[in-house]
Structure 1
């Protein structure tokens, strides 16, 4: 597939339920914590600070779900604002930080790749038009283009030149997703254990 992903605009929307169905294994969905009790004010402030680092948009204070935003203008990937519960365990924190770091890595890779793609595409078009004795824009100001057969030469060359880079990206992508899935399983088991383990009752005096 070409590195430029089709962009889709739109307003921010709550995407937690849809993203969990797509990303979390059934085990994690089965034992996800029910409900969403609101934490103290400090918890809301932590959520807003984390959200603002991504796009400047802050989910509502009372939100207790992950939020999925519109495509980033550079990477064309949809960023996620991760919900940080007040009672987040060390294992849950590790999972969230791993997902955040993976998202930043993925965003950076595709932002750079798309920038390179657009730059080299313009250079290719310019060189082909120059070889034909044509200008980038016609006398009416309309931008000159090449036909599909000529552009196919560029796509083939670009993909061939970036084959190794994409191969390393896919390798790291699978490694990161395996690690995330592994921690999801550990978090699910931790939640099951917390539900099943006997709770110590306070002895009456």
Structure 2
């Protein structure tokens, strides 16, 4: 068991370095006038990894700043672009969904309070709320009304993740092949 741990401690970091690449450059440095990330998060310029930023205030998802290595292959570029496109699609869906949810929730609360003859504030000045059973009616109705939209979202989400997983496997095989392939010697004439 100790021998296995020792091998893992030696081999694993080498394997990680083999896949990480030698030179680094951030996606933000090589992107030409592309729209910026949702948040203003900016990782250090010397970073060689993807960085995950703070949650977006509309979608509640954490945006990713993708690292672009200088020696990025066309397959690696395709994978990164697919991941970026998926992130933007996901951010947009959840920002719209959360906005719709909040708006409809407020309308539901206002209509129920009005039906009870209550105002938006209690006598003590606090915001008036509904009990859990009444809110359960809203949640059930909202989910039922948006069932089709969520079903299409889940279908597309799985398709995108399978594509990303497939391209990730291809990139890993490409990197392994690049590392194992014998280097061609320069011939001097």
Q: Common fold, TM-score beyond 0.5?
A: yes
Corresponding residue for 1:53? 36
* Aligned mate of 1:81, from 51, 61, 65: 65
Provide the C-alpha distance between the structure 1 equivalents of 2:56 and 2:154, rounded to a whole number of angstroms.
21
> Counterparts in 2 of 1:18-33, with a 5 A limit?
33=18
User: Do the aligned residues in 2 keep the contact of 1:48 with 1:58 (CA within 8 Å)?
Assistant: no
Provide the C-alpha distance between the structure 1 equivalents of 2:178 and 2:23, rounded to a whole number of angstroms.
19
Q: Does 1:167 align with 2:167?
A: no
Q: How many residues align?
A: 172
Flag structure 2 segments of 5+ consecutive residues without an equivalent: 1-14
1:57 Cα shift?
2.7
* Aligned mate of 1:156, from 140, 144, 147: 140
Provide the C-alpha distance between the structure 1 equivalents of 2:95 and 2:68, rounded to a whole number of angstroms.
26
Larger Rg belongs to:
2
Flag structure 1 segments of 5+ consecutive residues without an equivalent: 1-29
CA-atom RMSD in angstroms: 2.0
Q: Rate the CA distance shift 1:66–1:80 in 2: closer, same or farther, 3 A.
A: same
> Counterparts in 2 of 1:66-145, with a 5 A limit?
66-145=50-129
Q: Rate the CA distance shift 1:35–1:130 in 2: closer, same or farther, 3 A.
A: closer
1:56 Cα shift?
2.7
1:162 Cα shift?
0.5
State the Cα deviation string for residues 167-197 of structure 1 (Å, max 9, x = none). Answer: 0000000000000001001101111111122
Q: Rate the CA distance shift 1:49–1:198 in 2: closer, same or farther, 3 A.
A: closer
User: Do the aligned residues in 2 keep the contact of 1:38 with 1:62 (CA within 8 Å)?
Assistant: no
Which has the bigger relative contact order, CA under 8 A and spacing at least 6? 1
Corresponding residue for 1:18? none
